[in-house]
Structure 1
């Protein structure tokens, strides 16, 4: 009795756990973390999966084991007593998908081992997380669904998915109309993202769910029909508001597949309901088609957005095509196992074209190829693509066969058939959902919510195939052991009559055995192998039964690994929260507390990004006051980030820019180090204009203008719209004394990049050199509005005021500069303050300022001369 009770509760945990998982995952987000959307979803999935898996294993352990299939039937009378062990009911792995999934897992493992970055391939790229852990997690969920969810349980799973998607849709619709529960800074122009963080991700999720409420809408009656209709309309409306063209195309393709497989008879049967629903859809679409929103700095209507998918001149479409071109060249270089899961962002810079750089801009990174076929090939090679296509083909082929079986069955046979009558509506929905997933992902890519839903739907689609009970690996019994159902016998003359007689005898024997079981008190649970025709390929697995202890060991190993990954994920989540706290403290200018939070995040989970931001915080401390301890910690943390991910070119560039700063303060040795790091960045990303321009600035600071000119020209060839190039060229002209040319270049930079603070300051300095002091002051004031904390700008403005004879304003600006940036402008600010006091005959104050300038910079000859003039030296 205790075992029966435990089995019951274990089964409930599996059921409720899966229902909770598919309901919570799309909905959950956590604003207090840095990764607001994907990390909370992955935490939920990785924590619930081990719980569900453990419950399934308990259920399997306590499930009575029937007689071994390979024994002769007369022996089963004595050996068929109920046993406990690994229950074959729960551990049935469908033969048609077992091999392709096993092959996919093997290829993924090999791809991970040969990966460009092992960490990325295991855990997934930050804020994407489709690494090996996630792949294994989704495969576990597939086997849980396919073994435990049939009939009414599938209906409950669908209801949970539909309710969750409806809430997600409501949230998105509220965003579109400006009703926000939380304030966000991303995608503010009516392109909704709801609880998934990106309009593309939201669209991919919604378009997969849409066929499910549609199928149930046609199946049910009464108030439930209204519920599914409202859910469908809500999800459709939110889908429109994503303005995602790939999803629109996916919706069209999935609807065609749905009605194609639904069949003429059922379409005619539901024509009234379908007509009404279709009319409402048309009205919603027309009412929204004229609304104009801003997408990527361009105002468009819904109609224009949908039509633009065929416009090859559209910027987004051109970027996709350029990305695909680079991806094909990547596949050519590593065709077998690819670059490793989730490593596209690291490998792509060496393969991107100049055209891509000009289209996407310098700030546009690319995390994926935005095409499922290319992404799979890049992640796990052509072998991975083969496994992926194998799974898809088997799913479509098998689901189509199951649909035909469901159509042939009569409603009266629903209770007796392994394929229940409602499956006539669900199978088209499953096919349609997977079709939507595939079409959408030819222009985008999967995230946690969509990938999990994909495997859950595949599991639901194939779960109806499995009889109650089955072997670990499906086994074809010898002819003398098979029990043929009367429907499967082809009656051809005497052979057919003999076969029918044998089948009737077997059925009578089954009834006698069940009666005997009940009379002796044994469990009535048993399973006789029902012989099926071979798949069309003629292939079947014939491994026989595998011992329960072996299966238990494998699944316990998976369980322990899942628990370990779950524990690591919790630590990662806590680290992410501390990291977000650190960012908040930086915005509040409390660098000390920010460093504490960053270090706590690293202690919990040492991630490359955390080290980079910790180094940046120490760098800010250095700019307040040169401290060798902070200098060393800045360099050490940048190097730790490089060690974790040596393929991230920006890590080298960040270190180079810090060396450049130190070079301006402490001497040329640091500039040589900066040049070295810049060149390492360029080696990893040879078509990035940012790195060439930054290296040019380092040469400009070292007065190596010829080398700088060549680099600026190279950067302009890569991206003529990159404003920083013209600021750097203006700096070259400035140091050459060509102030008119410098002013022209600074103005060009400002035309390309409005509110460009550095160009504004340098333009003011050029006006100052030309003696246009009023214009210079005006530009300096503009620059201060853009960057109020800039000590250098205040220093330059102080010089302008001094030359204009406005001593009090000049004095104030020099003192402000000393407070904000004492390292760069400290000695010179003291020097000019000394001049002001000397001109006002405040000789003691002047002497003190000159001495302070010399203390900070012993080589300050101008300050020494001033002191000498005053008779102090």
Structure 2
């Protein structure tokens, strides 16, 4: 008599080791972080508890200097809480955000320890990015009337009726996430093209093209500029012919006169609401840094402290959650030393992976392009304010460290 299928499945599940369970939980988190954030958080927490309870010996041994830098960043941001205008809020926020970032970083470092696991992670990440685009496309074309004008400046862009944001809840956040997926997916496509795997390259190229279209429909100017810089860096480091793609920018500006072109030109006018608000925010944030030059105003308390420095928006009901600038935001909330640690972490991970010349293109340059995206977009916005975007970044930092430590 044949054994029931569910019985065979249960037997297979019982045979899984703690190590394998944690890896599958990390795979699940990779899918859920962008599609169902609370699900991603739960999976990370469960994976962390399993590791602490049953596999602590895995975390012993000598630490890489970049891991010490990560520990330093975690500690420094925690100490900043002493300056918070609301210590309990800041402490809970730090535990919820920094605790999650540190957890996924360490889990990725020690459990993505084989080439097969790393390739599976990258494949899942890119496929999830495509699913995010499908959901965002549905939102964009079937948006309800009451939400159709969200994130739109009708005064300066009367022809711009809607922007794409999907499960990331904000066009700029979706743009940052898509730049991460385009960086990995684009490099992967170049890899299979070099291998002359035409079927896979066609499928991957189509997925990347969909992601690029969705990035355009976010109408996020900072993310468009970040894409241009990322393409330039990829052209210098990976494939020089990519530099020809940058010719599309002047062609769009001079021969196309729709909302994409008007959004690009507006970068140089400085007259729209978004640009003027950013200048005012940056100016106010500089005063915060001057007043709190060591530990900052406290983790996640910008929105509480900003009213004391506000001269642009004289309306107490309007809450400003962040400075729309990565560098000023981090320096204001947790101090310039914390900013230096974060920059060292980003640049150090990308450089140490890039130095390993035996790696394939996505492995070697993926972290480099993600770092470029974060540093360039950080000049105009603070996408890392989103836990979804930050978790993806810290997941890739952990992935990079797993490559560095194992030298696969």
Give me the whole-angstrom Cα distance separating, in 2, the residues matched to 1:345 and 1:50: 27
Kept in 2, the 8 Å contact 1:60–1:91? The answer is no
* Deviation string, structure 1 residues 466-510 (Cα, Å, up to 9, x no partner): 2389xxxxxxxxxxxxxxxxxxxxxxxxxxxxxxxxxxxxxxxxx
* Aligned counterpart, 1:525: none
Q: Does 1:331 align with 2:289?
A: yes
Instruction: Specify the alignment match of 2:40 in structure 1.
Output: 45
Match of 1:253 in 2: 229
Distance in 1, matches of 2:43 and 2:146, equals 29
- Provide the residue aligned with 1:597 in structure 2: none
Distance 1:196 1:291, change over 3 A: farther
Q: Distance in 2 between matches of 1:317 and 1:180?
A: 26
Instruction: Give the structure 1 partner of residue 7 of structure 2.
Output: none
Instruction: Give, in whole Å, the separation in 2 of the partners of 1:462 and 1:99.
Output: 12
Is the CA contact 2:307–2:316 (under 8 Å) kept in the aligned structure 1?
no
8 Å CA contact 1:120–1:341 kept in 2: the answer is: no
Structure 1: which 5+ residue stretches go unaligned?
Answer: 29-40, 62-85, 125-130, 293-300, 407-420, 470-873
Q: Does 1:306 align with 2:264?
A: yes
Q: Relative to structure 1, is the Cα distance of residues 320 and 180 closer, same or farther in structure 2, using a 3 angstrom cutoff?
A: closer
Residue 376 of structure 2 corresponds to residue 428 of structure 1: no
Pick aligned residue for 1:357 from 313, 333, 337:
313
Equivalent in the alignment of 1:17: 25
User: Which digits, 9 at most, give the CA deviation of each residue in 1:50-94, with x for residues without a partner?
Assistant: 221234346636xxxxxxxxxxxxxxxxxxxxxxxx24xx54564
Q: Which residue among 198, 204, 209 is the counterpart of 1:222?
A: 198
Select 1:148's aligned residue among 101, 108, 111: 111
Aligned to 1:315: 273
> In the TM superposition, what is the alpha-carbon distance from 1:155 to its structure 2 partner?
1.5
| Residue number in structure 2 paired with 1:199 | 171
Any residues of structure 2 matched to 1:651-670 within 5 Å, and which?
Answer: none
CA contact (8 A) 2:136 2:166 kept: yes
For 1:92 and 1:157, how far apart are their aligned partners in 2? 25
Q: Does 1:458 align with 2:393?
A: no
- Please report how far the alpha carbon of residue 348 of structure 1 lies from its aligned counterpart in structure 2 after TM superposition: 0.8
The secondary structure found in structure 2 opposite 1:357 is: coil
Q: Which residue of 1 aligns with 2:322?
A: 368
**1: distance between equivalents of 2:354 and 2:29?**
28
1:32-63 per-position Cα deviation (integer Å, ceiling 9, x unaligned): xxxxxxxxx2x3233111221234346636xx
Using the TM superposition, give the Cα deviation of residue 397 of structure 1 relative to its aligned residue in structure 2, in angstroms. Answer: 3.2
Aligned to 1:208: 180
Whether contact under 8 Å (1:259, 1:428) holds in the other structure is no
Q: Cα deviations across residues 638-676 of structure 1 (Å, max 9, x unaligned)?
A: xxxxxxxxxxxxxxxxxxxxxxxxxxxxxxxxxxxxxxx
Question: Which of 136, 156, 164 is equivalent to 2:99?
Answer: 136
Per the alignment, residue 234 of structure 1 pairs with: 210
Paired residues in the alignment total 378
Tell me the distance in 1 between the aligned counterparts of 2:274 and 2:145.
28
Q: CA deviation at 1:363?
A: 5.7
Alignment match, 2:157:
none
Q: Which blocks of at least 5 consecutive residues in structure 2 are unaligned?
A: 1-12, 153-160
Structure ID, larger Rg: 1
C-alpha separation in 1, matches of 2:15 and 2:90: 37
Q: Cα 1:467–1:203, aligned 2, differ >3 Å: closer, same or farther?
A: closer
Assess, with a 3 A threshold, how the Cα gap between structure 1 residues 146 and 384 changes in structure 2: closer, same or farther.
Answer: same
| 1:315 CA drift (Å) | 2.6
Hey, what does 2:87 align to over in structure 1? 118
Partner of 2:333: 379
Please say if residues 91 and 147 of structure 1, whose CA atoms lie closer than 8 Å, have aligned partners that are also in contact: no
Deviation, structure 1 residue 328: 0.5
Deviations 1:740-768 (A, max 9, x none): xxxxxxxxxxxxxxxxxxxxxxxxxxxxx
- Give the 3-state SS of the residue equivalent to 2:164 in structure 1: coil
Aligned counterparts, 1:774-785, within 5 A: none
What is the CA–CA distance in structure 1 between the aligned matches of 2:407 and 2:237, rounded to whole Å? 26
The aligned residue for residue 100 of structure 1 is 69
CA drift of 1:326 comes to 0.5
TM-score for both structures, normalised by structure 1:
0.41
- Alpha carbons of structure 1 residues 190 and 259: separation in structure 2 relative to 1, 3 Å: same
Taking the aligned partners of 2:151 and 2:347, their CA distance within structure 1 comes to 37
**C-alpha deviations, 1:801-843, integer Å up to 9, x for none?**
xxxxxxxxxxxxxxxxxxxxxxxxxxxxxxxxxxxxxxxxxxx
Q: Are residues 1:159 and 2:117 paired?
A: no
For 1:249 and 1:93, the matched residues in 2 are separated by 40
